[in-house]
Amino acid sequence: MKQNDFDQIIRRMKDATVPDCPPSLENNVLRRIRITADETTQSISEWLFGLVPQPQFILSAVALTLTVSLGSTIISTNLQADVTQKKALALTALDFDVFQDNDYLNLNNDNP
């Protein structure tokens, strides 16, 4: 029984006519939609310009990064070359090549 009452109330609400919106309300809603669309466009463009605030700052940051990277690469390469040179000089100075010579160290017991 309660379900029937509820269905009747819903049916009456569906059958009731809704008054038309006043023209001023419709104009206000449409104006608000236009303003919101304009704000959305402005906010995206502002976001893009906010992402890149000053091109000079970005260019200087890129130049600094390249300079530091290039400098560290050059220093690292020079240090590696120095280490290789020092190893070669140490091998020569300590004469570790003596073990490469088969005349002094004959492990195979070959008689020439």
- The alpha carbons of the chain give a radius of gyration, in whole angstroms, of 43
pLDDT(112) > 60: no
What are the extents of the domains in the chain? 20-51, 54-112
pTM: 0.35
Find out whether 104 and 98 touch, Cβ atoms under 8 Å: yes
How does pLDDT run across 21-46, given as a tens digit for each residue?
Answer: 788 888 888 888 888 877 666 666 67
pLDDT at 40: 63
Find out whether 82 and 88 touch, Cβ atoms under 8 Å: no
pLDDT at 80: 81
- What's the mean per-residue pLDDT of the chain? 77
How does pLDDT run across 70-98, given as a tens digit for each residue?
Answer: 999 998 888 887 778 888 887 777 776 65
Listing DSSP states for the chain in one string gives: -HHHHHHHHHHHHHHSPPPPPPHHHHHHHHHHHHHHHHHHHHHHHHHHHHHSS-HHHHHHHHHHHHHHHHHHHHHHHHHHHHHHHHHHHHHHHHTGGGGT-TTT--SS----
